[in-house]
């Protein structure tokens, strides 16, 4: 059984195992396709024109499936590994152990944003970026450089209190839990964290930074927490909505999984 733990509680051996599994996927060519897929789905499905991965109700099930697939790949390397979650309402500074050299490494240097310590520093030779939006092949960060601090627990709770999952017009202008969590309206949770980390995390190729997975594991946990708080609030929309993934529509690029099939995460993993 896969248990996703708070990254702050991992032992050094658990941190090392996670890092090693990520590095193995990278060196065997199984990491970069995730970056390609995410970038292709950042605005809309480039084949169909539908909004699938972002700015739409399927933002949460799309990323849930994407993380499940990545976690299975990690486990093919090391069955003991799961995706840790980063509770950014609690670990709110660049001094968090998350950013230590024995885990993800720290912020980028001022000259060019290059991360220079930890296992994902360019100088290690193990983390050269191949899927890019520009010519820079090194991981970049500017922790806290976006100006706004990370979301607080009170802000997260205010979004968890919203009773409706989503609302017409089912996009970045919608009311409801999904859009306030994604961050296009209101206090802005998810988008703000991408900007706070900066570098590639603020772009469509954000999975180039392994913190992406820990950020999205916490976003996914917040969805599960919201479901527990609002057991009678369904995924919306239910059916018949153009250019939007309804409850029983399959999602690209997998084409064999629907939001309905992903509402219960517990067959796949639980949160510690
Ligand atoms: Cu995303
Ligand atoms: Cu994201």
Report the distance separating Cα 254 and Cα 250, nearest Å.
Answer: 8
Query: What percentage of the chain exceeds 90 in pLDDT?
Result: 93
Q: pLDDT category, 224, cuts 50, 70, 90? A: very high
CA–CA distance from 6 to each of 47, 80, 87, 206, 270 (Å)? 36, 15, 7, 21, 12
What is the CA(38)–ligand 1 centre distance, in A? 6
What is the CA(179)–ligand 2 centre distance, in A? 12
In this prediction, residues 120-130 reach a mean pLDDT of 98
Residue 26 burial (CB count, 10 A) = 18
Overall domain count for the chain: 1
Domain range enclosing 222: 2-271
pTM of the prediction?
0.97
Q: pLDDT category, 124, cuts 50, 70, 90? A: very high
Q: What's the CATH code of the domain at 165? A: 1.10.1280.10
What is the CA(67)–ligand 1 centre distance, in A? 10
What is the CA(201)–ligand 2 centre distance, in A? 8
Q: Which ligand is nearest to the CA of 41?
A: 1
pLDDT, mean over the chain: 96
What is the CA(182)–ligand 1 centre distance, in A? 9
**pLDDT of amino acid 110:** 96
What is the CA(42)–ligand 1 centre distance, in A? 6
What is the CA(63)–ligand 1 centre distance, in A? 7
In this prediction, residues 178-201 reach a mean pLDDT of 97
What is the CA(43)–ligand 2 centre distance, in A? 12
Q: Which ligand is nearest to the CA of 37?
A: 1
């Amino acid at each position: 059984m896969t248990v996703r733990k708070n990254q702050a509680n991992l032992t050094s051996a658990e941190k090392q195992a996670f890092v090693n599994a990520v590095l193995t996927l990278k060196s065997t060519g199984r990491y970069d396709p995730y970056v390609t897929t995410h970038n292709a789905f950042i605005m809309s499905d480039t084949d169909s024109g539908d909004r699938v991965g972002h700015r739409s109700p399927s933002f949460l099930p799309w990323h849930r499936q994407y993380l499940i697939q990545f976690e299975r790949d990690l486990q093919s390397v090391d069955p003991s590994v799961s995706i840790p979650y980063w509770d950014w309402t609690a670990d709110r500074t660049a001094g968090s152990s998350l950013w230590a050299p024995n885990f993800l490494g720290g912020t980028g240097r001022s000259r060019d944003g290059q991360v220079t310590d930890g296992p994902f520093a360019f100088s290690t030779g193990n983390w050269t970026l191949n899927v890019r939006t520009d010519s820079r092949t090194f991981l970049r960060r500017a922790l806290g450089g976006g100006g706004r601090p990370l979301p607080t627990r009170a802000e997260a709770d205010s979004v968890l209190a919203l009773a409706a999952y989503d609302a017409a017009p089912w996009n970045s202008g919608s009311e409801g839990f999904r859009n306030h969590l994604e961050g296009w309206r209101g206090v802005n949770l998810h988008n703000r964290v991408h900007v706070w980390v900066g570098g590639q995390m603020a772009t469509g190729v954000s999975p180039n930074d392994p913190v992406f997975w820990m950020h999205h594991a916490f976003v996914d946990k917040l969805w599960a927490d919201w479901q527990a708080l609002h057991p009678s609030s369904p995924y919306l929309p239910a059916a018949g909505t153009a250019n939007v993934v309804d409850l029983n529509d399959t999602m690209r690029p997998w084409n064999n999984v629907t939001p309905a099939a992903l509402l219960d995460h517990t067959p796949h993993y639980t949160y510690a």
